């Protein structure tokens, strides 16, 4: 059985070359091969096979033994992915340091001030409309923290959440333990749902970039019709909100 085009494209996107994919695919179908046999089975030229095997081993996708000639074998794809992920994160951290050290002083010296798009919204209808507009273009992930006062928002958002779920978007909802049980039951069909006692305030983060911070009536004694929210197109703010969201998830209860 050969690797599908979909999986080949995914492997390509995480940094494996065409020759590396062919070599790993051939090793998946064997219990171990020497370089010459592997070249024949994979279609990778013999003049290139040792270079390809070296990079695959460095990336954590294959291993080798001490026999003569050396035999190569496939490692678990999970191991290869984890090694690749760690290397990408290490490379990103190193490159981030280099970039920030040189470019931040230049940016600050220029006198340019960042002007993120930030809006203050009031009223459940207006907030719901902005949220629906925000998630319309969502591609990968939506994280929702919803206080009890936001029940009307979630009812309005249910059709959109169903659409996102059908498109393969990952949805996580954290809500108050006082939320209506029927509303929670409807959400569990399309999202991972967790509840937290005493949750106040809330928000929505879309694709780690767009964020709505919801200020419930608990924060000002207002009625639910007077909900206030802050919407921002700002990766830094969204990143901070996401970290806080994950912190809240740690001691929440899954339903």
The DSSP string of 165-216 is HHTT-EEEEEEETTS-HHHHHHHHTTSEEEEETT--SEEEEETTTEEEEEE-
pLDDT in tens, 212-248: 887 755 444 444 446 678 888 777 778 888 888 888 8
Q: pTM to 2 decimals? A: 0.49
Nearest partner of 175 among 166, 164, 187, judged by Cα: 187
With pLDDT > 90 as the criterion, what percentage of the chain qualifies?
A: 35
The reported pLDDT for the residue numbered 18 is 95
The reported pLDDT for the residue numbered 223 is 47
pLDDT in tens, 55-101: 999 999 999 998 889 999 999 999 999 999 999 999 999 999 999 88
Do 66 and 26 form a contact (C-beta atoms < 8 A)?
Answer: no
Residues 6+ apart with CB under 8 A from 53: 23, 35, 38, 62, 64, 72
Do 163 and 144 form a contact (C-beta atoms < 8 A)?
Answer: no
Spacing of C-alpha 208 from chain mean position: 8
Q: How confident is the model at residue 1 (pLDDT cuts 50, 70, 90)?
A: low
The reported pLDDT for the residue numbered 216 is 56
As a whole number, mean pLDDT of residues 153-173 equals 81
Pick the more confident residue, 210 or 78: 78
pLDDT in tens, 140-152: 888 888 776 666 6
Residues 6+ apart with CB under 8 A from 194: 172, 173, 174, 175, 249, 252, 253, 254, 255
Q: How confident is the model at residue 163 (pLDDT cuts 50, 70, 90)?
A: confident
Pick the more confident residue, 151 or 40: 40
Q: Which value, in Å, is the radius of gyration of the alpha carbons in the chain?
A: 25
């Amino acid at each position: 059985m050969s690797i599908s085009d979909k999986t080949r494209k995914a492997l390509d996107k995480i940094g494996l070359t065409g020759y590396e994919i062919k070599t790993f695919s051939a090793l998946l179908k064997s219990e171990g091969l020497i370089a010459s046999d592997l070249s024949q089975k994979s279609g990778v030229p013999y003049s290139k096979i040792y270079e390809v095997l070296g990079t695959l081993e460095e990336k954590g996708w294959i291993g080798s033994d001490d026999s003569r000639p050396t035999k190569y074998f496939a490692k678990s794809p999970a191991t290869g992915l984890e090694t690749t992920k760690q290397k990408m994160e290490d490379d990103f951290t190193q490159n981030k340091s280099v970039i920030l050290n040189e470019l931040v002083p230049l940016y600050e010296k220029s006198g340019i001030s960042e002007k993120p798009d930030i809006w203050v919204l009031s009223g459940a209808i207006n907030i719901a409309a902005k949220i629906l507009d925000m998630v319309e273009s969502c591609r990968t992930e939506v994280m929702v923290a919803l206080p009890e006062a936001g029940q009307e928002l979630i009812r309005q958002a249910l059709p959109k959440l169903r659409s996102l779920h059908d498109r393969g978007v990952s949805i996580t909802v954290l809500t108050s333990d006082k939320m209506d049980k029927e509303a929670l039951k409807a959400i569990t069909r399309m999202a991972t749902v967790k509840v937290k006692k005493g949750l106040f305030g809330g928000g929505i983060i879309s694709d780690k970039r767009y964020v709505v911070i919801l200020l419930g009536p608990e924060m000002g004694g207002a009625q639910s019709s007077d909900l206030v929210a802050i919407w921002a197109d700002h990766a830094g703010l969204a990143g901070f909100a996401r970290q806080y969201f994950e912190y809240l998830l740690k001691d929440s209860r899954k339903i």
